[in-house]
Amino acid sequence: MHRIGFLLSDGFQLMTLASQCVFECANIVVGDPHYKVDNFSIEGGEVRSSLGVIVGTRSVRGCREVQTWMVTGGTNPLALPATTRELAFLRKEAERARRIAGICTGGFALANAGLLTHRRATTHWAFAREMRKRFPDVLVEEDRIYVVDDFIWTSAGMTAGLDMALAMIERDLGADVARSVARKLVMHQRRSGGQSQHSQMLDLAPKSDRIQNVLNYARSNLGRPLTIEELAERAHLSPRQFSRVFTQETGRSPAKAIEGLRLEAARLMIEQSLHPLNVIAKETGFNDRRHMREAFLRGFGVPPQAVRRNSSGPEPVSA
């Protein structure tokens, strides 16, 4: 039996406990209690969530049976600092446990304990920059669903904790069990750790890794023309076969899908950077600013300037 402990502290966010259902479903799928899940806190007893819901917990004192620790996050990690005892506990468990995971902003506790130093990690996108600022030795990948670096796992916000738990099940029990669990929970099992937290393309959900790899390649090379011939070669198919298979698996033509990826990347750059629009158009593969504007009107119904005005970020140096 694999024992999983959720480490809670006052102010934790209830959504971080949702991944417990993933492990419960895994037990149902395999027909055996492979996972045993318990809630813990340093002292034990009642712990109050950010919503005010009270959850009973066991004390971590004398706890030796837990193999996977899931550290829960709060709605604001800056208002939920880990205590000295929590940090000492995490450092000690890092020497013994099979894996330690930070759900959402729970990654801040791992960083405070020194467990993320020189490691790749992610967290909720709204706090990723703060993590990078506070912990410059952490290799923050702010646009990832989850990140695995050796035995340390970290996830983005909210539902990303379910994706991380599903990945753990796949590693423990195999892909077939993970797919069955995903179906029971009506989850998009294709959400791999490398996918974007902000992706509008998750609904493509290709059935094969071949097409998924093409999408990953395209996302990493948006500044290139990305012709059908180039994408087909990545999939080891002829251009005609590739177009047919891609459309069958995603419900969109390659051209529409690539435009969606370009729009997604351009929107994020507009919201999060000071780059002029003509630079963003070039970086994301649009021919020019006018072409990008036309794509924004088709895709979002508003021009790029409207997205920039509505952004909470700083005003650009030039438009």
**Do residue 309 and residue 213 come from a single domain?**
yes
Question: What is the model's pLDDT at position 317?
Answer: 39
Domain count, the chain: 2
Please report where in the chains the tokens 């959400």 appear, as a residue.
191
Same domain, 29 and 66: yes
Kindly state whether residues 146 and 36 are assigned to the same domain: yes
The CATH number given to whatever domain includes residue 119 is: 3.40.50.880
What's the CA gap between 4 and 99, in Å, rounded? 10
Paired residues of 149 in beta bridges: 152
Q: Is residue 189 part of a domain?
A: no
User: Does the model's pTM come out above 0.85?
Assistant: no
Residue range 62-79: mean pLDDT, rounded: 88
What per-residue confidence (pLDDT) applies to 308?
Answer: 83
Range of the domain at 95: 2-184
Q: Are residues 156 and 243 in the same domain?
A: no
Same structural domain for residues 179 and 279? Answer: no
Q: Please indicate, yes or no, whether residues 132 and 271 belong to a single structural domain of this protein.
A: no
Tell me if residue 70 falls in helix, strand or coil. Answer: strand
Check: CB of residue 147 under 8 Å from CB of residue 122: yes
Is residue 199 over pLDDT 60? no
Report the pLDDT value the prediction gives residue 30, as an integer from 0 to 100: 95
How far, in Å, CA of 137 to CA of 152, rounded? 15
Instruction: Give pLDDT tens digits for 36-70.
Output: 999 999 999 999 999 999 999 999 987 889 999 99
265 Cβ contact partners less than 8 Å away, ≥ 6 residues apart? 219, 222, 283, 284
In this predicted model, what pLDDT tens digit does every residue of 212-262 receive, in sequence order? 899 989 988 999 999 999 999 999 999 999 999 999 998 899 999 999 899
Domain match, 254 and 223 both: yes
pLDDT in tens, 155-195: 998 788 999 999 999 999 998 999 899 889 987 544 544 44
225 and 315 share a domain? yes
